[in-house]
Amino acid sequence: MQLDLRTIAIKPLRQTYGHIARRLGADKPASRYIEATMDLQPVENFHYRPTWEPQYDIFDPRHTKIVMKDWYALKDPRQFFYGGWTLARARMQDAVEADFSLVEEMSLAAAYPDEGKKLVRDVILPLRHVAWGSNINNSYVGAYGYGIAISQAATYASMDQLGIAQYITRIAMAFDDLEALPVAKAAWLEEPAWQELRRYVEDLMVEKDWFEVLVAQNYVLEGLLYPLIYDRLNGKLNALHGPVISMLTRFQGEWQVENAKWLDAVLKAAAADNRDNVATLAGWIKTWRDRAVTALKPIAEKAFGEDATAALDEVVQQLERRAAKAGVAL
Amino acid sequence: MDMKVAKKLGLKERYALMTRDLAWDTTYQPMDKVFPQVSYEGIKIHDWNKWEDPFRLTMDAYWKYQAEKERKLYAILDAFNQNNGHLTVTDGRYINVLKLFLGSTSPLELMAARGFTNMGRQMVGAGPRVACLMQAVDEYRHFQTQIHSISNYNKFYNGLDEFAHQQSRMWYLSDGKSFFDDAITAGPFEFMVAIGFAFEYVLTNILFVPFISGAAYNGDMAAMTVGFSAQSDEARHMTLGLECIKFILEQDPDNLPIVQRWIDKWTWRGTRKLGSVGMMMDYMLPKRIMSFKEAWEMYFEQNGAALFNDLARYGITVPKCFAQTVAEKEHVTHQSWIGFYMKPDSTNFHTWVPEPEELDWLSEKYPNTFDKYYRPTFEHWAKTQKAGKRFNNKTAPMNCQVCLNTMKYNEPDDPMKTCFRSTKYKGEKYHFCSDPCLEIFENEPEKYVQAYISSHQVLQGNCAPEGVDTTAPDFNPAEHVAAYWRLDPNATGDFDGSQDQANFAAWRDQATKN
Amino acid sequence: MTSNAFIAFQKNEETRCIVEAIVDDNPGAIVVEQPAMVKVDVPERLVIKRATVEEKMGRDFDLQELQIHLITISGHLDETDEEFTLSWQS
Q: Which amino acid is at B348?
A: N
Instruction: Give the residue with greater pLDDT, A37 vs B213.
Output: A37
Residue range B150-162: mean pLDDT, rounded: 97
Query: What angle is formed at CA B74 by the lines to CA B70 and CA B77, rounded to 5 degrees?
Result: 145
Q: How far is CA B193 from CA A317, B238, B277, B308, B487, in A?
A: 49, 11, 22, 14, 36
pLDDT band, residue C1 (cuts 50/70/90): low
Residue range B139-152: mean pLDDT, rounded: 96
Beta bridge partners of C34: C37
When CB atoms are compared, the residue of B303, B309, B313 closest to C1 is B309
Q: How far is B345 from chain C (nearest CA, A)?
A: 37
Task: Return the domain boundaries, chain B.
Answer: 55-352+391-465+474-512
Task: Check if the beta carbon of residue C46 is closer than 8 Å to that of residue C40.
Answer: yes
Q: pTM higher than 0.90, yes or no?
A: yes
A-chain CB neighbours of B82 within 8 Å are 7
Chains that touch C (3 or more CB pairs under 8 A): B
- Do residue B28 and residue A199 have CB atoms under 8 angstroms apart? yes
- Do residue C90 and residue B310 have CB atoms under 8 angstroms apart? yes
List helix spans (H) across B188-343: 188-191, 204-217, 221-251, 255-279, 292-295, 303-311, 322-328, 332-341
E runs forming strands in B361-502: 410-411, 414-418, 421-425, 428-432
Residue A150 has pLDDT above 70, yes or no: yes
The DSSP secondary-structure symbol of A121 reads I
Q: How far is CA B451 from CA A48, A222, B163, B174, C1, in A?
A: 6, 43, 21, 9, 43
Using a CB–CB cutoff of 8 Å, tell me whether B292 touches chain A. Answer: no
Residue range B453-464: mean pLDDT, rounded: 94
- Do residue A96 and residue B27 have CB atoms under 8 angstroms apart? no
Q: Kindly tell me whether chain A and chain B come into contact, counting contact as 3+ Cβ pairs under 8 Å.
A: yes
Of A28-37, A100-109, B81-90, B127-136, give the lowest mean pLDDT range. Answer: B81-90
Best probe of the B interface among A82, A185, A201, by most B CBs < 10 A, is A82
Residue B5 has pLDDT above 80, yes or no: no
Q: End-to-end CA distance of chain C, in Å?
A: 8
Res B55: pLDDT: 84
When CB atoms are compared, the residue of B40, B136, B137 closest to A52 is B40
When CB atoms are compared, the residue of B228, B232, B306 closest to C36 is B228
DSSP notation for B56-106: ---HHHHHHHHHHHHHHHHHHHHHHHHTTGGGGSS-GGGHHHHHHHHHHTH
Chains that touch B (3 or more CB pairs under 8 A): A, C
Q: How far is B141 from chain A (nearest CA, A)?
A: 5
B-chain CB neighbours of A46 within 8 Å are 168, 181, 452
Residue range B350-365: mean pLDDT, rounded: 98
Task: Check if the beta carbon of residue A82 is closer than 8 Å to that of residue B233.
Answer: no
Who contacts B510 (Cβ-Cβ below 8 Å, separation ≥6)? A8, A10
- Do residue C79 and residue B56 have CB atoms under 8 angstroms apart? yes
Of A148-157, B9-18, B484-493, give the lowest mean pLDDT range. Answer: B9-18
Pairs across B and C, CB distance < 8 A? 79
The CA distance from B95 to B107, in Å, is 18
Residue B435 has pLDDT above 60, yes or no: yes
Nearest residue to A242 (alpha-carbon basis) of A117, A97, A105, A92: A117
Q: What average pLDDT is seen over chain A? A: 96
The CA distance from A280 to A275, in Å, is 9
Q: Kindly tell me whether chain C and chain B come into contact, counting contact as 3+ Cβ pairs under 8 Å.
A: yes
Of A168-172, A212-216, B84-88, give the lowest mean pLDDT range. Answer: B84-88
Q: Under an 8 Å CB criterion, which residues of C touch B? A: 1, 3-4, 10, 34-37, 62, 64-65, 67-74, 76-77, 79-81, 88-90
List, in order of start, the domains of chain A with CATH numbers.
Answer: 76-325 (1.10.620.20)
pLDDT in tens, B119-143: 999 999 999 999 999 999 999 999 9
pLDDT band, residue B10 (cuts 50/70/90): confident
Residue B381 has pLDDT above 50, yes or no: yes
Q: Quickly count: other Cβ atoms within 10 Å of residue A252's Cβ.
A: 25
Residue A203 has pLDDT above 80, yes or no: yes
Res B1: pLDDT: 47
Res A1: pLDDT: 44
- Do residue B164 and residue A39 have CB atoms under 8 angstroms apart? yes
Q: Which fold has domain B55-352+391-465+474-512?
A: Ribonucleotide Reductase, subunit A (1.10.620)
Q: How far is B223 from chain C (nearest CA, A)?
A: 13
Task: Return the domain boundaries, chain C.
Answer: 4-87
Q: How far is B42 from chain A (nearest CA, A)?
A: 13
Q: Which fold has domain C4-87?
A: Phenol Hydroxylase P2 Protein (3.90.56)
C-chain CB neighbours of B235 within 8 Å are 67, 70-73
pLDDT in tens, A211-235: 999 999 999 999 999 999 999 999 9
pLDDT in tens, B189-242: 999 999 999 998 888 888 887 788 888 889 998 888 888 888 889 989 988 999
**If you average pLDDT over each of A17-26, C33-42, C77-86, which comes out highest?**
A17-26
Residue A287 has pLDDT above 50, yes or no: yes
B-chain CB neighbours of A89 within 8 Å are 59, 63, 67
pLDDT in tens, A246-261: 999 999 999 999 999 9
The DSSP secondary-structure symbol of A123 reads I
